[in-house]
Chains A and B, each alone.
Chain A
Amino acid sequence: MNAPFFKFDYFSTDVSLIIAFAIGIAFGIALEKGGFGRATILASQFYFTNMRVLKVMFTAIVTAMLGLYFLSVIGFVDLSLVYLTQTNMLPMVVGGLVAGVGFVIGGYCPGTSMVAIATGKIDAVVYVLGMIFGIFVFGEMFPSIENFFNSGFMGSVTIPSYFNLSYGLVVFLVVLMALGAFAAAEWGEKKMAAKTGKEKL
């Protein structure tokens, strides 16, 4: 058996939608259990009072990255068949900045806002209405920003291929960076808790 399964036609597109629904359910459960259905918890990441966002996100990235790397090394997963979004550096940098500012203003990111709606948060409903409006504005502006949107094209490029490093080495460096970030997050949370005298959420 070879993976990704879908790329080897082990099941139809219709079945893939059922799988999408099932994976979505697991995704939603994980986000909710992490506390990501609450804007106050998500926003506290940016005030160093509760670093859950960083901890959950980097742990998830490291887990999936290590799993994928291991499965490709043993020849189970063909990494070249795993989808890589193309890189357009400048629009992605600008888009990231806009999204970061929007995250602190709105209190959610798109995925977490869905979980927040599912658990009754009214502000998340308003947030999603705003998001629909933002996408519509982007769509209407698209003809005039299309050149910028397609600028800085670098194709499908990974950190190892761009910096000419081995995949395994970058995997190792990301693990090290994550461990450093976790240590800093734990230390920072203790400092902030001592300073504000408040317990974290």
Chain B
Amino acid sequence: MTSITKILTHAFEKDEGHVHINMKEKPYSNPYLVGVGLGLVLLAAFVIMGRGLGASGALSTAVAVTVNKVAPEHAAQNNFYKEYVGDENANPLMDWLIFQTLGVLVGGFISGTISHRVKKEIEKGPRISTKMRLIYAFVGGGLLGYGAKLARGCMSGQALSGGAVLNLGSWAFMMMVFVGGYAAAYFLRRQWI
């Protein structure tokens, strides 16, 4: 599969100067402009819904609903699962964050397609093998999942949304994300640079 992707990529590269010049990946937008756009989206969420954006919540619901399906008695004894499954009257999947997260997938795909940035690939630095990169991706995802649940939210729900409403705990969370990130960066430099 990887080799097919490679062949396809090369085919397009060769054609670039001739027919497929519009296939070239467009550069990313000015970060300050994107920031204003993102801020307005967040503001819209506050004004329309009275709540901010989120990301990890949708996966938590998915996990809780799955555990509840497989082992309902086990889930019923656990306050974490119970909160995400909710009461029996409402379908837990008809949830704001689940629909918002589905929107993020669609929005990311639309924007990526328009700018010719949708490409099957593995993001990594030049000095790390694909296998190690995927192991790191899994471990990092695991830590993020665990940490976000401990902190009652992730970069979207806490740092971004809580940051804009000057939530004390959200700012503490945000600062600690940068502290943790910069502290770990040195030891992980082989993965990225």
A contact residues vs B (CB 8 Å cutoff):
3-7, 16-35, 37-41, 43-47, 49, 52, 55-65, 67-68, 71, 76-77, 79, 81-89, 91-124, 126-139, 142-143, 145-146, 149, 154, 156-162, 167, 170-171, 174, 182, 201
Contacts and interface: CB of A to CB of B under 8 A. Distances in A.
A63 B43 contact: yes
Contacts of A6: 48-50
B99 A85 contact: no
A96 B50 contact: no
28 contacts: A3-B50, A21-B106, A26-B103, A30-B34, A34-B34, A55-B32, A59-B31, A59-B34, A61-B163, A79-B165, A85-B169, A92-B169, A92-B170, A95-B151, A95-B152, A99-B155, A99-B176, A100-B179, A110-B145, A111-B53, A120-B112, A122-B120, A122-B122, A127-B138, A127-B140, A139-B64, A139-B80, A162-B168
Contacts of A133: 138, 141-142, 145
Contacts of B172: 87, 89, 92-93, 96
A64 B39 contact: yes
A20 to B, nearest CB: 4
B104 interface: yes
B164 A64 contact: yes
Contacts of B141: 102, 106, 108, 113, 126-134
B142 to A, nearest CB: 4
Contacts of A201: 28
Contact of B59 (A30, A128, A182): A128
B104 to A, nearest CB: 4
Contacts of A138: 80, 145-146, 149-150
Interface residue range, chain B:
35 or more
Given A20-B103, A24-B106, A134 B143 contact: yes
Interface string B108-124: 11111001011111111
A64 B43 contact: yes
Contacts of B108: 28-29, 31-32, 37, 114-119
B56 A31 contact: no
Contacts of A134: 141-147, 149
Nearest to B81: A139
B137 A124 contact: yes
A25 B140 contact: no
The 7 closest A-B pairs by CB, nearest first: A106-B140, A24-B103, A59-B35, A100-B180, A28-B107, A63-B39, A134-B145
Contact of B152 (A49, A62, A88, A114): A88
Interface of B: 28-29, 31-32, 34-56, 59-60, 62-64, 67, 77-81, 94-97, 99-112, 115, 117-125, 133-134, 136-160, 162-185, 188-189, 191-193
B63 to A, nearest CB: 5
A82 B107 CA distance: 25
A174 to B, nearest CB: 7
B189 to A, nearest CB: 7
A64 B146 CA distance: 28
B111 to A, nearest CB: 4
Nearest to A24: B103
A106 B136 CA distance: 6
B156 A157 contact: no
A99 B133 CA distance: 18
Interface centre among B59, B141, B151, by most chain A C-beta atoms within 10 angstroms, is B141
Contacts of B177: 96-97, 99-100, 103
